[in-house]
């Protein structure tokens, strides 16, 4: 294949989701009644990250310094701004399994135990050479068990084995990136067998790992031991409880024409280059990610790299505070919008409650099925 043909093929893989955007805008009518915006932030939380050399890790003392600064500044930055239930915006910290260190996790678990978020599972693997199914399983099981020792994760209905949410490093879930940054076709099967209740990797655009199915909450329709079984899915629907886990919980993906006729990809990322704004919030709402039959509960899963030093202002500084103030003003001024800041676990619980036909405020179902192993010992928001 010539270089030109390779570039065309890569571009096609990167943009193969775009035909779904106008189709969804045509078929998904805007809900005109009262709406509940259910907002979660999936933080690919990597204290070791070195922007100039992503393949290297920062020294442990630098990682500890970064984490201590985060745990000190985050409450002050976000505490003043509350949702309709009295909760502040909290991150779900998807911590890399391959970068686990007990001192880091002890500090992060303490931060979360005080009510400022929850820890879930992140994994980078198969970067230098394809990983194996056996090694992937061992890494997930070992890290899952370590998190339980730190009082993290949850259990279904409060009993049984530990359950966890997952995001894949480099977005390459189940070898969906053309063989790079993974190598394990049956990864989703392994996730299911090790206790994963939901995957929050997507959207991945502009990565070639992006699949054609977008803006959806669903269960995989292809066999879980196949490469990228999340390419096909059965949307969650009121009255039809899911039977295949992990559920796929996608964030908004579309096109943003704010800068003229040439659009930018709107992939629900929060960063210094792409900070949160009310205009983006409207785009996320228009993606209308719902459980079918429950159009008034709109799920908005965002993602970020909170420990990237380049994004500190977007996470902890005036940029974040300005948006939170604008969002609070918007919520108070709008008679039809209610905000609910949730974790990945709480978002999944609310989706399961919607499937079961529950009514009222979605905030009442944060602990519907998946219950924390170690209840919060710090601030109680309700």
Q: Which residues on adjacent β-strands are paired with residue 342?
A: 40
Residue ranges in 162-262 assigned as alpha helix (H): 187-193
Residue ranges in the chain assigned as alpha helix (H): 3-15, 20-27, 60-78, 102-111, 133-149, 187-193, 278-287, 312-316, 318-333, 344-355
Q: Which residues on adjacent β-strands are paired with residue 35?
A: 337
Q: What is the pLDDT along the chain (382 residues), one digit of tens a residue?
A: 454 444 334 444 567 787 777 667 767 767 778 999 999 999 999 999 999 887 789 999 999 999 999 999 999 999 999 999 999 999 999 999 999 999 999 999 999 999 999 999 999 999 999 999 999 999 999 999 999 999 999 999 999 999 999 999 999 999 999 899 999 999 999 999 999 999 999 999 999 999 999 999 999 999 999 999 999 999 999 999 999 999 999 999 999 987 777 789 999 999 999 999 999 999 999 999 999 999 999 999 999 999 999 999 999 999 999 999 999 999 999 999 999 999 999 999 999 999 999 999 999 999 999 999 998 765 555 5
pLDDT on residue 14 = 61
Q: For residues 344 and 124, give the distance between their C-alpha atoms in angstroms, rounded to a whole number.
A: 19
pLDDT on residue 216 = 98
CA distances from 380 to 72, 86, 89, 109, 343 (A): 18, 10, 14, 16, 15
pLDDT on residue 23 = 67
| Predicted model pTM | 0.94
């Amino acid at each position: 294949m010539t270089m030109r043909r390779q570039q065309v093929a890569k571009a096609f893989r990167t943009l193969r989701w775009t035909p779904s955007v106008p189709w969804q805008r045509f078929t998904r009518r805007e809900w005109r009644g009262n709406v509940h915006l259910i907002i979660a932030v999936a933080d690919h939380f990597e204290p070791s990250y070195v922007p100039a050399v992503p393949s290297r890790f920062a020294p442990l003392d630098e990682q500890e310094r970064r984490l201590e600064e985060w745990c000190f500044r985050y409450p002050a930055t976000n505490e003043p701004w509350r949702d309709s239930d009295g909760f502040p915006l909290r991150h779900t910290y998807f911590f890399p399994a391959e970068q686990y260190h007990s001192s880091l996790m002890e500090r992060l678990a303490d931060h979360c135990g005080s009510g400022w978020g929850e820890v879930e599972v992140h994994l980078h693997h198969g970067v230098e050479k394809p990983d194996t199914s056996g090694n992937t399983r061992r890494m997930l099981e070992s890290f899952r068990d370590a998190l339980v020792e730190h009082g993290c994760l949850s259990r279904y209905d409060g009993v049984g084995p530990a359950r966890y949410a997952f995001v894949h490093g480099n977005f390459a879930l189940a070898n969906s990136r053309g063989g790079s940054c993974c190598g394990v076709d049956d990864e989703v099967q392994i996730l299911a067998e090790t206790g994963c209740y939901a995957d929050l990797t997507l959207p991945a655009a502009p990565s070639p790992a992006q699949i054609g199915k977008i803006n959806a909450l669903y269960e995989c329709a292809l066999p879980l031991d196949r490469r990228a079984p999340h390419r096909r899915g059965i949307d969650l629907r009121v009255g039809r409880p899911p039977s295949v886990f992990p559920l796929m919980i996608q964030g908004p993906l579309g096109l943003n024409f704010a800068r003229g006729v040439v659009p930018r990809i709107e992939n629900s990322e929060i960063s210094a280059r792409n900070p949160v704004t009310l205009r983006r919030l409207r785009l996320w709402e228009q993606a209308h990610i719902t459980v079918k039959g429950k159009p008034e509960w709109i799920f908005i899963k965002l993602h970020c790299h909170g420990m990237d030093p380049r994004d500190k202002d977007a996470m902890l500084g005036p940029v974040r505070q300005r948006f939170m103030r604008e969002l609070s003003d918007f919520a108070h001024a709008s008679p039809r919008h209610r905000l609910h800041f949730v974790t990945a676990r709480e978002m999944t619980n609310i989706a399961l409650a919607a499937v079961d036909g529950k009514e009222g405020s979605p905030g009442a179902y944060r602990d519907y099925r998946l219950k924390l192993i170690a209840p919060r010992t710090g601030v109680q928001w309700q």
